[in-house]
Amino acid sequence: MVEVQIDNQADFSAYLADSKATSFTDGVLRITVKNGFVAAWIRQRVMRSIRRFASEVFDQDVKVELDTIAYTSSDMLVREGLAGDYTQWADVRLSRHRATVARENARYFPAIPNCTFKRFERSASNAHALNAARSVVDEPGEEFNPLTIASETGQGKTHLINAIANEMRQAKMNVICLTGEEFVDSFVKSSQTGKVAAVRDRYRDVDALLVDGIEKLIGKSKTLSFLLSILEHLLANRKQVVFTFNSAYPINELGDEIVSRLSGGLEISIARPDFELKRSLLGRYASERKLHLKNEVLDFLSERFANNVRDVIGAIARVDAHHQLEGRAQASEAGTISLAVAVEAVKDRITAPAPTLVPPNDVVNAVASVFSISNDQLCRSGRGNRSVTSARDVAIYMLREKSGLTSSETGTLMGGRPHSTILASLSRYSERRKSDPQLIEAERRISNLLR
């Protein structure tokens, strides 16, 4: 007779699905519920809403009476330790129901276990995305909702979205985490079996919905409409939504309505990895495989794999395999992989130019000329004044970019400076050149001299 809408599907399933309005006489609406604890829950949680809704339907003040068709066993309440307290027992049952649903979703939609925030290597190229991911775990459904993380392939989107899922589940949240392909497949199968409503309700009845790769929905209008209905419900109920998107695709092809919802939250990008990030990742993955790589090997791999974190990490697996199969005799010392082994292992995957494009001494001469200092001042060991220090930073950077030298080779040329000093210089200079037009002008003049 009267249908009452409840936002939370878990509440409806646990308490109201079997409740029915049986009569309306003299301003009294009688609703039959299945037992006493359901009646207690309704009186405490939704009676006012039911009364208001019924009054609107019948256009008069309505009194609501609840009739039970069964009574909760007192023995059951005693076993629960809640004898005489229907409301508390109802809350316990609802909590258990939600926990069961959360466990089922974790089983049916598992996140990648080793994708955690702890294992995500922070750098300037991904720091903002990492901070946003942590924020939605700490305050789901609040400021950054929905959160969309975009990048080229292999830059860490999948790691971040799975880290979010793992952290949320640690906090006992009900999370669905799946790929764009899996989302499309679930809609297609539910359409074929007539279960679209059930699947939609499952996606809506969560604390967070995470979809990795929503570009897979481009061109699938029915699936996009399905997603839109879920997205609107989750956002209206302040449930967290996180998407990742491959920036090689035009995001506007998701449609105006989806794009509008995404722009209402936070859209953030992960940039290509810088040298420091690639080197740090290589060092960590080598350590996990118990590989001993010299600094020159780490430098070579970091500098020759230009764009993709996934490929950089894959390089370690290739070096390891090549070392085990062919390279043990080429190890420069016991247990240490030589540069020769590394070069041979990845030679077909090198994407950056080969080393020594410009003779290193030509770079040194050009830098010294632009900064009006001698080669000896530029390359000697020890500290110099601010102008000399700035020139050295430029020289170290240009030797990597123009001559293809590794950090170890650069250190030898620049007065025998240790590897750590060269890395510190590169890091310092990479930040300075972003905001100092004089350095960019110096690079331009040096490049002109090297033509």
Among 91-105, 193-207, 378-392, 412-426, the range scoring the smallest mean pLDDT is 91-105
Non-local CB neighbours of 311 within 8 Å, separated by 6+ positions: 154, 305, 349, 351
Rounded alpha-carbon distances, angstroms, from residue 189 to 161, 338, 377, 446: 25, 52, 72, 62
Model's pTM, two decimal places?
Answer: 0.60
Checking if the pLDDT of 262 tops 90, the result is yes
> 117, exposed or middle or buried, with CB in 10 Å at 0-12, 13-18, 19+?
middle
Non-local CB neighbours of 309 within 8 Å, separated by 6+ positions: 154, 155, 156, 273, 277, 278, 281
The structure tokens listed for 321 are 């395999």
For residue 363, give the nearest of 242, 245, 451 by alpha carbon. Answer: 451
User: Which tens digits make up the pLDDT trace of 90-105?
Assistant: 555 556 667 777 888 8
Give me the mean pLDDT over the 417-438 stretch.
84
What is residue 427's predicted lDDT score, i.e. its pLDDT?
A: 83
The domains of the chain, with CATH numbers, are 1-107 (3.30.300.180), 127-269 (3.40.50.300), 275-349 (1.10.8.60), 360-450 (1.10.1750.10)
Place of tokens 């830059």: 155
Q: How far is CA 146 from the centre of its chain?
A: 13
What is residue 145's predicted lDDT score, i.e. its pLDDT?
A: 92
In angstroms, the CA 394 to CA 273 distance is 21
What is residue 332's predicted lDDT score, i.e. its pLDDT?
A: 42
Rounded alpha-carbon distances, angstroms, from residue 336 to 59, 190, 262, 321, 326: 85, 55, 49, 14, 14
- Residue by residue, what is the 3-state secondary structure of the chain? CCCCCCCCHHHHHHHHCCCEEEEEECCEEEEEECCHHHHHHHHHHCHHHHHHHHHHHHCCCCEEEEEECCCCCHHHHHHHCCCCCHHHHHHHHHHHHHHHHHHHHHHHCCCCCCCCCCCCCCCCCCHHHHHHHHHHHHCCCCCCCCEEEEECCCCCHHHHHHHHHHHHHHCCCCEEEEEHHHHHHHHHHHHHHCCHHHHHHHHHCCCEEEEECHHHHCCCHHHHHHHHHHHHHHHHCCCEEEEEEECCCCHHHHCHHHHHHHHCCEEEECCCCCHHHHHHHHHHHHHHCCCEECHHHHHHHHHHCCCCHHHHHHHHHHHHHHHHHHHHHHCCECCEECHHHHHHHHHHHCCCCCCCCCCHHHHHHHHHHHCCCCHHHHHCCCCCCHHHHHHHHHHHHHHHHHHCCCHHHHHHHCCCCCHHHHHHHHHHHHHHCCCCHHHHHHHHHHHHHHC
Residue 70 has φ and ψ, to the nearest 5°, of -150, 160
Give me the mean pLDDT over the 2-15 stretch.
53
Cβ count near 99 (within 10 Å) = 12
Ramachandran category for residue 59: left, alpha or beta (phi over 0 → left; psi -120 to 50 → alpha):
left
Checking if the pLDDT of 9 tops 80, the result is no
What is residue 80's predicted lDDT score, i.e. its pLDDT?
A: 47
Rounded alpha-carbon distances, angstroms, from residue 163 to 100, 170, 175, 193, 214: 22, 11, 12, 33, 18
pLDDT band at 261 (very low <50, low <70, confident <90, very high): very high
What is residue 90's predicted lDDT score, i.e. its pLDDT?
A: 54
**Average pLDDT over all residues of the chain:** 81
Among 4-18, 93-107, 159-173, the range scoring the smallest mean pLDDT is 4-18
Give me the mean pLDDT over the 402-422 stretch.
84
Checking if the pLDDT of 315 tops 50, the result is yes
What does DSSP say about strands 208-212 and 336-337: parallel, antiparallel, or unpaired?
unpaired
Determine if the peptide bond prior to 146 is cis (ω within 30°). Answer: yes
Give the chain's largest Cα–Cα span: 104
